A and B are shown apart, each in its own frame.
Chain A
Amino acid sequence: DVKVTQSSRYLVKRTGEKVFLECVQDMDHENMFWYRQDPGLGLRLIYFSYDVKMKEKGDIPEGYSVSREKKERFSLILESASTNQTSMYLCASSPTGRNEKLFFGSGTQLSVL
């Protein structure tokens, strides 16, 4: 069974801090994604990556960056956390090809105070 693991389930940070959210998948998937989930807004794509060292902006990239140094690991970075970045962050992965099924991690609930 595919496992997508996010390093923290809950995280509390202060405004202005640099925040790292880590995601690791164990199925050799090429594609990895970071989504943000807010009540009433659904799942919004922040950044994605189709290959190592490759990254592309999603719909709401402002205030975020990503890193993909290894195929299995995709990190989301909040350069200077702000209160409006308080949210549930979901990582997902999928294999390349016709099967676009996303496998999600269990999420990180980030609170920025």
Chain B
Amino acid sequence: GENVEQHPSTLSVQEGDSAVIKCTYSDSASNYFPWYKQELGKRPQLIIDIRSNVGEKKDQRIAVTLNKTAKHFSLHITETQPEDSAVYFCAASIAHYGGSQGNLIFGKGTKLSVKP
């Protein structure tokens, strides 16, 4: 089955710097890669996702890149702010168009701390 590795497990940056979190997956059939953010004491929430027919996607200060050949994808946060401090989870699944979806397999998470 699918296996998702996420690095680093903790990341500390100064406010205004960039942060990069990397994930690798094992199943080449995976075609959907979301990122979830979980603030302390709160539920995980989807912040951005990418499908395998796209190499990069941006939404304001966050971007995700996908390298299908190497089977890895990354989350990039620019101009970090203290409110970006949270645990970030990557995930991968096989989405079947028009049929049942594949289950999301999550990485173990990265705790991002943004120091003011």
Contact = CB atoms under 8 A, between A and B. Distances in A.
A and B bind: yes
Interface residues of B, number: 26
B89 interface: yes
A70 B106 CA distance: 27
Interface string A45-84: 1001010000000110000000000000000000000000
Contacts of A50: 100
Contact of B34 (A90, A101, A105): A101
A25 interface: no
A96 interface: yes
Interface string A90-104: 100010111011101
A96 B97 CA distance: 10
Contact of B93 (A40, A90, A100, A107): A100
B108 A40 contact: yes
A31 B101 CA distance: 9
A104 B105 CA distance: 15
Interface string A19-63: 000000000000101010000111111001010000000110000
Interface in B78-116: 89, 93, 95, 97-98, 100-101, 103-109
Nearest to B9: A40
A98 B43 contact: no
B54 interface: no
Contacts of A97: 98, 101
Contact of B89 (A43, A98, A100, A101): A43
Contacts of A59: 1, 105
Interface in B40-65: 42-46, 49
Given A90-B43, A100-B93, A42 B101 contact: no
Interface of A: 31, 33, 35, 40-45, 48, 50, 58-59, 90, 94, 96-98, 100-102, 104-107
Nearest 5 interchain pairs by C-beta: A42-B108, A104-B43, A43-B106, A42-B106, A42-B109
